[in-house]
Amino acid sequence: NVKETLSPILAASQEVATEELSPLDKARLDLTLLYSLNSLFWMYLCTLGEDPKQHSDRVKEYMTRAKQIADKAKAPKLVAGAAQRFVRNALWTATDGGQKDGQEPPRKKRR
């Protein structure tokens, strides 16, 4: 029964139910509720003989957007200072090795 299933969520106000959730978890809860209500509405439209496909595409778009936000939060971050040091130390400069301008780097001796 739908009423029995949704009664724990509908018993408390939304603010009380979501006060300890992170913003991403709140968005996920809202999307779950939206998807549930949209499924019920989809069944209602089917009983009326209408095409409900357009309505579910909109919800899927929002769910995809929420997933992108969650994935972006998990993505590795670039530390600019470390990247600059890495590139600076990886590049060769003419002043390395105590060479004077115009001199060739010392050649290795062959055995």
User: How does pLDDT run across 31-57, given as a tens digit for each residue?
Assistant: 888 888 888 888 888 898 887 776 667
Q: Evaluate if pTM is beyond 0.75.
A: no
pLDDT tens column, 5-20: 777 777 777 777 778 8
pLDDT over 70, % of the chain: 82
Question: Quick one: which of 29, 33, 55 has its CA closest to 42?
Answer: 55
The first and second tokens of residue 9, run together, are: 């969520």
**Identity (one letter) of the amino acid at 78?**
L
Give the span between the Cα atoms of 109 and 111, in whole angstroms: 6
SS (H, E, C) the chain: CHHHHHHHHHHCCHHHHHCCCCHHHHHHHHHHHHHHHHHHHHHHHHHHCCCCHHHHHHHHHHHHHHHHHHHHHHCCCCCHHHHHHHHHHHCCCCCHHHCCCCCCCCCCCCC
